[in-house]
Amino acid sequence: VLIVAAKNADAPQPRAEILGDVARIYEETSQVDKSEAIHRQVLELAPEDPSIALPAARALERIYAASGKNVDLAQILRVQVRLEENVEARRELLGRLGTLAEESLSDDPGAISAWKERLEDDPADSVALAALDRLYERSGDHRALVEVLRTRERNADDADARKALMGRAAKT
């Protein structure tokens, strides 16, 4: 009945709300595959409209995280980053994406991309800088590593930390 009502809805917003209810019912009754399919439909209704797409993307994130579908989880985190207007929420999503890419997907270029994007919101982000330090060191990208080390040095409050970072930059 709800699916028929959704098909008959004239606008994307009511259609998305009805389909969201259907997806929740499927999820609550352990029909996760059907719930995932419905949330994907909602996401496709208006992929650039955060009021429609973001709730569906968050639901898909929950489904993918619970089922260990890390590639799908990374993709849906990217969708959320694109749609999210709140800077702090974006930073949190980018941090999760960077960690997932590095630790679960062994995708260092993807991790670097996520952490660099997070730095765009806050160039002094110590967590992002530490992650990029580690990733550039591992990848052997010495030019980028030195740049990150210098930024970390400028942001360091502790004289010993500044000295250690300067030493690392000089050796690189």
* Cβ proximity of 165 and 152 under 8 Å: yes
Separation between Cα atoms, residue 137 and residue 69, nearest integer Å: 28
Can you read off the two tokens belonging to residue 154? 């400028």
Radius of gyration of the chain (CA): 21
121-141 pLDDT tens trace: 999 999 999 999 999 999 999
Q: How many CA atoms lie within 13 A of 84 on its CB side?
A: 19
Q: What is the pTM of this model?
A: 0.85
Buried b (16+ CB within 10 A) or exposed e, 25-55: ebbeeeeeeebbebbebbbebbeeeeebbbb
27-80 pLDDT tens trace: 999 999 999 999 999 999 999 999 999 999 999 999 999 999 999 999 999 999
Separation between Cα atoms, residue 76 and residue 39, nearest integer Å: 11
